[in-house]
Amino acid sequence: MFLHSKLEELALMYRIFKRVENTLKFIIAKMNPYIEGRGEKIINDEALKKDPIEFTKKLLELKSEMDKMVEFSFQNDIRFQKSRDVSFQNFMNKSVYTPNYIASYCDNELRKGLKGVS
């Protein structure tokens, strides 16, 4: 369901599993490796390592996608939010490029004046 972005099915599963609180850990146990795997593909992509702006844009796109998934499928449950954040921290801390590339992206956006950015 994660691989094919089946958000509605994830939402149904969440509603069923939510009835027994202890079972939510099974969804989280599948979500964490999924997010980390997607993130590691980005941080290990040789083409993206050459372009800090594209590298950071891909990370932001992934973050936006995961935010939507947590909001829609898991009703912004705090456990899923924390799990998503930990997954991002795990894969982002594996790359020495991440902090510098994010700083370069921010610098670039500030120089452009953030026109048209929400």
For residue 106, pLDDT over 70 is answered with: yes
Least reliable range by pLDDT among 17-21, 34-38, 41-45, 56-60: 17-21
| Whole-Å CA distances, 34 to 1, 31, 84, 104, 116 | 10, 5, 10, 27, 31
| pLDDT of 1 | 81
| pLDDT of 5 | 76
Q: How confident is the model at residue 3 (pLDDT cuts 50, 70, 90)?
A: confident
**Mean pLDDT, rounded, of the chain:** 90
* Domains of the chain, earliest start first: 7-112 (1.20.1310.10)
95: left (phi over 0), alpha (psi -120 to 50) or beta: beta
For residue 35, pLDDT over 90 is answered with: yes
For residue 115, pLDDT over 80 is answered with: no
Percent of the chain with pLDDT over 70: 96
The pLDDT tens digits of the residues spanning 76-102 come to 999 999 999 999 999 999 988 899 999
- Are the C-beta atoms of residues 105 and 57 closer than 8 Å to each other? yes
pTM: predicted TM-score of the whole model, two decimal places: 0.85
